[in-house]
Structure 1
Amino acid sequence: MTAPSAFRSGKTYRDENFPVASRLIPRRHRDVILAFYEFVRTADDIADHPSLRAQDKLDLLDRMEGDLLGFGNWSEEASALRRALAERELAPHHAQDLLKAFRLDVVKRRYADWNDLLNYCRYSAMPVGRFVLDVHGESRATWSASDSICAALQIINHLQDCGDDFRKLDRIYLPEDALEAFGLGTEALGEATASPQLRRCLASLARRAEDLLRQGDDLPVLVRNTRLALEIAVIHMLALRLTRYIAGRDPLGQRMHLGALEVAATSCRAALKGVSQRIGSRLSLSVKHE
């Protein structure tokens, strides 16, 4: 069977919407996070591959999971992640949850409502944040805020890519009831430009994504590791900026990603805000203890 690397799209962690193991992350944690990314990226590319049959995709994903669990060494990405996890005494269950999401991508093309989409995010997004928190030895008490942020990041990606997802994969993550509420059918996503109704629909979903982000506002303060907290603060602010960006643009006819200068400026503001929040939180705690 062809190795999984043959099905890679060419996308790397540097091409993602949000930072992946940036220089803010302590060096000792970056290798295991990047091994996790390589495994996940490869599995995602298999699920999205345009010429593979559905059953072939599922077979490849199953074999990657087998290698992750130590039943073989066919997949270089799975074997590398298995070794990295073993060195850190970490379990593979977060990676396994993501494989469930990719299997869903193979067999499920539509989502009925917001709850249906959030259930997908439970496997496609939330395990990523939980993994990074586990790598840093953070408390599971941080998971709830992280889950909200990660679900929002996933939904933002869906809003940005809704046209390409439909045209290239016949996959629609926008909830069917949201489209129906604005009098839209699936064909609206195949147009060259978005109708006013589609833009209003996407704006409403972007606001719901923003609500999820607000549920995770405290995460940069809750985590103990300062450098991780700053990474989260940057991602959080970039995501908030994107929800407003999406609400005012045409996802079918316009670029839906922030420019490099805007990303840099937003990241600097977020890091400064994160430092300020952590100092303020510690001062508040010290006053309470006096």
Structure 2
Amino acid sequence: MNGTPTASAPVLAAYSYCEAVTAQQAGNFSYGIRLLPTAKRRAMSALYAFSRRVDDIGDGTLDAASKTLRLEETRALLDRIREGTVDEDDTDPVAVALTHAARRFPIPLGGLDELIDGVQMDVRGETYETWDDLALYCRCVAGAIGRLSLGVFGTVPGARDAARASEYADTLGLALQLTNILRDVREDAANGRTYLPAEDLAKFGCSAGFHSATPPPGADFTGLVQYEVRRARALFAEGMKLLPMLDRRSGACVAAMSGIYRRLLDRIAQDPRAVLRGRVSLPGREKAYVAVRGLSGFDARSVHRQTVKGRA
């Protein structure tokens, strides 16, 4: 850490902008972020707003060359943030907020370089032959976010196995991203993207893709989904070992985010074909309930039990 810089009026305004972006667009993540104390909530909102900008470039309507240029411009901005040359009067509120957050917390900003690398993989239209190939992509776009978040959360003094905290945060990111991939399999197919490993698709007769509400003829789509669900649950079980290393509010944030995604994964497992009919989601009241459970510490105590039960 580089001390604890005070937040001037322009910096507070920049944080307010990032918090508004987070509230409007963060979806599942916003429920966890709300549970954090002010300084950490602001820092996480700045991280989210920058990450959202990167994702929006990848998901936008520009051609590949224009997207690549925009991503490199964003990387150049990240370099300025890293170097501390963005001042509080800069016209980009996300850059102002993230610069302040990086001075306040030991955030490994290289994780945002990894995110940009991952989105560039999307722009190039890369596909993945094996799980190891896909895991590399997931580490860029989600594992890196876990490690960035850990820079804000920190670990409690004397936490057992704290040297592995970054590894667990990374693994938790993979679990969340694989859940996203299962949820969005038809939407991604409509956009010309296939994320699930080619060898898994072939194993279950699903290499033809997912362009309708019914699986390809002869495909064992349910078998494919259950196979990936088991993989995601194993990742959750490993990644949630991070929780005892965090303070109560940070642990609640992680428990809320992860709890929402684990419930989403359970819903997909119960009706695998639902992801071909439309986006599977949880109602807002259920997400809020999971967040409250996280704050109470219930999820932190019971996550191992629930995950093992789900894998049975």
TM-score above 0.5: yes
Q: Give the TM-score of the pair, scaled to structure 1.
A: 0.81
Give the equivalent residue in structure 2 for 1:39.
50
Q: Give the TM-score of the pair, scaled to structure 2.
A: 0.76
Give the equivalent residue in structure 2 for 1:281.
none
Q: Deviations over 1:260-282 (max 9, x none)?
A: 2322333334443448739xxxx
Is there any run of 5+ residues in structure 1 with no aligned partner, and where? 1-9, 279-290
Amino acid at match of 1:153: L
RCO greater where, 1 or 2, for CA within 8 Å and sep 6 or more? Answer: 2
Q: CA deviation at 1:219?
A: 1.8
Distance 1:254 1:164, change over 3 A: closer
Give the equivalent residue in structure 1 for 2:286.
262
Count, aligned residues: 265
Q: CA deviation at 1:161?
A: 0.7
Q: Deviations over 1:150-194 (max 9, x none)?
A: 100011011101111110x2111111111111112233x101334
Distance 2:74 2:171 in 1: 28
- The answer on 1:66 being equivalent to 2:83 is no
Contact 1:94/1:131 (8 A) holds in 2: yes
Distance 1:46 1:54 in 2: 10
Distance 1:66 1:40 in 2: 14
Distance 2:147 2:230 in 1: 24
Contact 1:40/1:95 (8 A) holds in 2: yes
Give the equivalent residue in structure 1 for 2:229.
206
Q: Deviations over 1:198-230 (max 9, x none)?
A: 23212211111011001123222122x210011
Match of 1:54 among 60, 64, 70: 64
Amino acid at match of 2:41: R
Percent of matched pairs sharing the same residue = 28
Distance 1:12 1:155 in 2: 22
Q: CA deviation at 1:84?
A: 3.3
Give the equivalent residue in structure 1 for 2:9.
none
Contact 2:135/2:174 (8 A) holds in 1: yes
- The answer on 1:28 being equivalent to 2:39 is yes
Match of 2:146 among 104, 110, 129: 129
Q: Deviations over 1:78-98 (max 9, x none)?
A: 454234323546452121111
- The answer on 1:252 being equivalent to 2:276 is yes
The 5 A counterparts of 1:73-222 are 77-78=94-95, 80-88=97-105, 90-138=107-155, 140-167=163-190, 169-187=191-209, 189-194=210-215, 197-222=220-245
Instruction: Name the Cα RMSD after superposition.
Output: 2.6
Is there any run of 5+ residues in structure 2 with no aligned partner, and where? 1-19, 156-161, 303-312
Distance 1:191 1:31, change over 3 A: same
Contact 1:146/1:216 (8 A) holds in 2: yes
Distance 1:150 1:61 in 2: 22
Contact 1:97/1:127 (8 A) holds in 2: yes
Distance 1:215 1:166 in 2: 29
Structure 1 range deviating more: 170-179 or 255-264: 255-264
Distance 1:255 1:66 in 2: 35
Contact 2:108/2:147 (8 A) holds in 1: no
Amino acid at match of 1:192: A
Amino acid at match of 1:230: A
